[in-house]
A and B are shown apart, each in its own frame.
Chain A
Amino acid sequence: MTNDNIQINSAAEKRKRISYGIALLLVGFVIYLLFGLNTQAGSLTTFGLNLTSSQAIKVPDLIVPALPAIYMMAAISVFAGAYQLARGVRSTGWLISILAFTFVVAFLMWAAQDKSFNLTGMLSSSLVRATPIALAALCGVISERSAVINIGIEGIMLMSAQAAVISATLTHNLYVGLIVAIIVGGLVAAFHAYLVIRFKVDQIVSGVAINIVGTGTTSFISSRFMQSAGDTLNNSGTFPIISIPILSKIPVLGPVFFENNLIVYLTIILIVVVHILLFYTPWGLRTRAVGEHPKAADTLGVNVYFMRYVNVILGGMIAGVGGAYFTIGSVGRFDEIMTAGKGFIGLAAMIFGKWNPIGAYTSSLIFGFADSLQVKLQILRVPIPSEFLLMAPYIVTMIILTGVVGRAIPPAADGQPYEK
């Protein structure tokens, strides 16, 4: 590296440092102007910490004086900004966390002043709402690590959601539904893999085709067969909530993490398992080698095509679980286009999580949080049109993609067919 390069880098670093500092300062002032000035002195915000249906030990609600708390958040943000300008912190992750945390807390204080706001309920629903996004993201991670892009996740989830509800209703067994969903997901992904590996179809194009066919097929089956036979085909019931003994008694954490249905637990387990598989086993090493430099992997005796097939199909099966969540995991019936872009948001979560299962899960949680936040805020009658609150997760994604991740670097061979 030449001197010029180093100087350019340090100049870029400096610019980045200053811009983060300014951003934090600005957020501090925005908190003061928007929320501080619009909050009555002496008003209290009540954060409920108990869920009525929960087994957890009851704890008293958290009651916070709104105005001082908002001022404190503004102060933290300004202080962090000033520190950043003066000294500079290496970890941008921390800066973003402070920025988001102070803003969200101050926002909640303002929105829920003189009202009660169930914090535990919101965290719990964040986790649930993050589940399909996380599964979609995990599907993306596992197949893109072997260099196959799959943007057909949305279509895969729709088809397996429908397959799950039909088979579960017919057999009166939710587990059959889940297994059928996994099989359907695997089959559709196998079709994608066959097209892109055997026929070298453009991967994005094949994914788009799967989305179109998926939407078309499910809507076709739904309007042709399911609408007239709602009870016999489209009424499966949902997985019950499983409370994990002892752990579910913990206040706040218990209802959030240990009182969920099978699919939510399964998601967390899958994330951990795939993470270990990818980074701590020979299989993972081969997968990543195939994704980064297939020629080298091939030379060393790794079967590139086989690895890609296996990864894409595994990914499809995970997306199948995600599809099952929509029907037998949450509402118990199928509606047309019920995935509502979750597959694509999952891809955003995957990129934001830098093609890493844990990272993908973390970013899915952020989306889940934003999603449940806007639902709560509608209940609180915040004087902001709910549509703007609904936009928040998408805007946040865009900001994050530009600011923090910048040039997110996919696996080197991502999207390229391999020819021996």
Chain B
Amino acid sequence: MSNTTTPAPETGKKEKKSSSIWQELLVPVLAVVTGLILGAIVIVMSGENPFRAYGALFAGSFGSPVDFFEGIRIYFTTGETAALIKAIYPFTESLVTATPYIFAGLSVAIGFRCGLFNIGAEGQFFIGALSSAFVGYSIKGLPMIIHLPLAISAGILGGALWGMIPGYLKARFGAHEVVNTIMMNWIAFRLSDWLLNGPMKASGFRPVTPNVEASAELPRFFSDPLRFNLGFFLALLAAYLVYWFLFKTTLGFEIRSVGANPDAAKYAGMNIIRNFVLVMFISGGLAGMAGASQVLGVDHWVGQGFSAGYGFDAIALALLGKSHPAGVVLAALLFGFLRSGATDMQSMARIPVDIISIVQGMIIVFIAAPDIIRWFYRIRTAKKEETVLTRGWGS
């Protein structure tokens, strides 16, 4: 995009005024709205009522406000929590869905910042999930204070190593990270097929791992059907750490410089190879953490197809969030609500979940081509420098 004009990476100074924040949010918001409208058109074409469908989507992602107030009323009058739990269930479930999205989106975003396109988040996610599941179920009798961090680190490390391989191959041999991360995805799927049918298989018929020990589970805040857990806050913490790392540290500055203009960075004496390997290590680690959070916080076991779709969703998230941690968190929340609501929409309005993929794809197109939105809604172009997203096949 800005291959011809390569600006110095912006410093972390707070120079944006509130009006420009609105300016910045305008296109993404309109993109989401337009995506939903196009989705509605698809729903109409397939012979269903879009209002009913989106009503179900909304109820499935946020819950119904009426139920919520009713739940509160019942709680205060009788002390009975069942109705309240039922009312907040959709909302917390959306946050639960958003948790791995935050990690995975950050993973791809940090790659973009360095000019690396990590399509392999899906494989790193899977390897991370398997590693933390392994530590989670194989070690017994440890206190939670040791076991949980151990399981999480195993997930991070698994994903990080899986991501580091393409990073190293890119840095050392110039092999395209796009192809290699895809190859690593397929290797991860096959490896997990083998692990789940062999060494890591739980006793029983299905190819799944045993449940992790209770001491390795991310603690949940509410009682059972609510799966809302510590993972969500870890994700927010990770977003802050990535922000701090990218914008407040020397290393982060180097990474952004390499991403903005590798040649200039090289002439400035920065070590391109080290940065590539480091970024892929961190990126893989974040994707692995996404897997770990899903295993330790939500499912407690890993089965086949565990990571399906996370890789591509993560790319969409990073793009939607303009590779900025705060943007990624917002985008992940949006996707979390859409995905979690879509499940209800499927059961209530007979609209297949896949409609969300169509909406997502359209959103990506509009985000990537703000000109379409500006043209469509007749918005004046607020000209400023775009962030570098990808760098083609790179070199």
Contacts and interface: CB of A to CB of B under 8 A. Distances in A.
B178 interface: yes
A199 B369 contact: yes
B31 to A, nearest CB: 11
A297 interface: no
Given A209-B368, A398-B169, A202 B390 contact: yes
B42 interface: yes
B46 to A, nearest CB: 5
A415 B362 contact: no
Tell me whether chain B's interface is mostly helix, strand or loop, or mixed.
helix
Interface stretch (B70-78, B134-142, B179-187, B210-218): B179-187
A60 interface: no
A309 B141 CA distance: 64
A204 B182 CA distance: 14
Contacts of A167: none
A246 to B, nearest CB: 41
Contacts of A403: 173
Q: Secondary structure of the A side of the interface?
A: helix
Given A209-B368, A394-B183, A401-B169, A387 B190 contact: yes
Interface stretch (B94-102, B153-161, B243-251, B349-357): B349-357
A387 to B, nearest CB: 4
B33 interface: no
Contacts, number: 164
Contacts of A398: 169, 175, 180, 183-184
Given A202-B1, A387-B190, A408-B176, A216 B46 contact: no
Q: Which residue of A201, A209, A351 has the most chain B CB atoms within 10 A of its CB atom?
A: A209
A151 B315 CA distance: 13
Interface stretch (B22-30, B191-199, B252-260, B280-288): B191-199
A277 interface: no
B203 interface: no
A209 B38 CA distance: 15
Candidate in A211, A217, A401, A403 with the most chain B CB atoms within 10 angstroms? A401
Given A213-B357, A401-B175, A394 B312 contact: no
B334 to A, nearest CB: 15
B354 A223 contact: yes
B190 A205 contact: no
B316 interface: yes
A213 to B, nearest CB: 3
B240 to A, nearest CB: 26
A390 B190 contact: yes
B204 interface: no
Contacts of A212: 312, 316, 357, 360-361, 364
Nearest to B389: A202
B194 A388 contact: yes
A195 B369 contact: yes
B352 A219 contact: yes
Interface string A150-182: 010000000000000000000000000000000
Contacts of A220: 42, 46, 352, 354-355, 357-358
Contacts of A201: 365, 368-369
A402 B175 contact: yes
Contacts of B352: 219-220, 223-224
Nearest to B182: A344
B271 to A, nearest CB: 18
Contacts of B190: 387-388, 390-391, 394
A415 B193 contact: no
Contact of A402 (B169, B178, B315, B389): B169
9 contacts: A149-B393, A195-B365, A213-B365, A216-B359, A220-B352, A395-B183, A398-B183, A408-B176, A415-B393
Interface of B: 1, 3, 42, 46, 117, 169, 172-176, 178-180, 182-187, 190-191, 193-194, 197-198, 312, 315-316, 319, 351-352, 354-362, 364-365, 368-369, 371-372, 389-393, 395
